[in-house]
Amino acid sequence: MINFNIPPFVGKEQEYIRQAIVENNKICGDGPFTKKCNQWLMDKTGTRKALLTTSCTHALEMAAILCDIKEGDEVIAPSYTFVSTVNAFVLRGAKIVFVDIRPDTMNIDENLIESAITEKTKVIIPVHYAGVSCEMDKIMEIANKYNLYVVEDAAQGVMATYKGKQLGTIGNLGTYSFHETKNYSMGEGGALLIRDKEFVERAEIIREKGTDRSKFFRGQVDKYSWVDLGSSFLPSEINAAYLYAQLEEAEKINNNRLASWELYYNGLSGLKDKGLIELPVIPKECVHNAHMFYIKLKDLEERTELINYLKERGIASVFHYVPLHSAKAGLEFGRFHGEDRYTTKESERLLRLPLYYGLKDIDVEKVISSIKEYFKVKEK
Ligand X SMILES: *Cc1c(COP(=O)(O)O)cnc(C)c1O
Residues 84-103 that bind ligand X (CB under 6 A): 84-85
C-alpha triplet 257, 151, 159: angle, nearest 5°: 20
Q: Residue 133 interacts with ligand X (CB under 6 A)?
A: no
Q: Which residue in 10, 41, 52, 56 binds ligand X (CB under 6 A)?
A: 56
Q: Residue 211 interacts with ligand X (CB under 6 A)?
A: no
Residues 10-39 that bind ligand X (CB under 6 A): none
Distance CA 353, CA 339 (A): 29
Q: Which residue in 16, 80, 82, 233 binds ligand X (CB under 6 A)?
A: 82
Instruction: Please give, one letter per residue, the 3-state secondary structure of 325-372.
Output: HHCHHHHHHEEECCCCCCHHHHHHHEEEECCCCCCCHHHHHHHHHHHH
Distance CA 123, CA 145 (A): 13
β-strand partners of 121: 74
The interface mask with ligand X, positions 164-203, x = CB under 6 A, is -------------x-x----------x-------------
Only one of the segments 1-9, 71-79, 148-156, 163-171 lies at the binding site for ligand X (rule: CB under 6 A); that segment is: 148-156
Shortest distance, position 84 Cβ to ligand X, whole Å: 4
Distance CA 37, CA 178 (A): 12
Q: Residue 81 interacts with ligand X (CB under 6 A)?
A: yes
Shortest distance, position 209 Cβ to ligand X, whole Å: 19
Shortest distance, position 58 Cβ to ligand X, whole Å: 7
Q: How many CB atoms within 10 Å of residue 119?
A: 6
Count of positions on this chain that bind ligand X (CB under 6 A): 14
Q: Which residue in 34, 133, 156, 211 binds ligand X (CB under 6 A)?
A: 156
C-alpha gyration radius of the chain: 21
- Starting at the edge strand found earlier in the chain, the sheet holding 286-287 runs 165-166, 161-162, 286-287
Q: Which residue in 34, 47, 55, 121 binds ligand X (CB under 6 A)?
A: 55
Q: How many CB atoms within 10 Å of residue 117?
A: 18
Q: Residue 302 interacts with ligand X (CB under 6 A)?
A: no
Residues interacting with ligand X, by CB under 6 A? Answer: 55-57, 81-82, 84-85, 127, 153, 155-156, 177, 179, 190
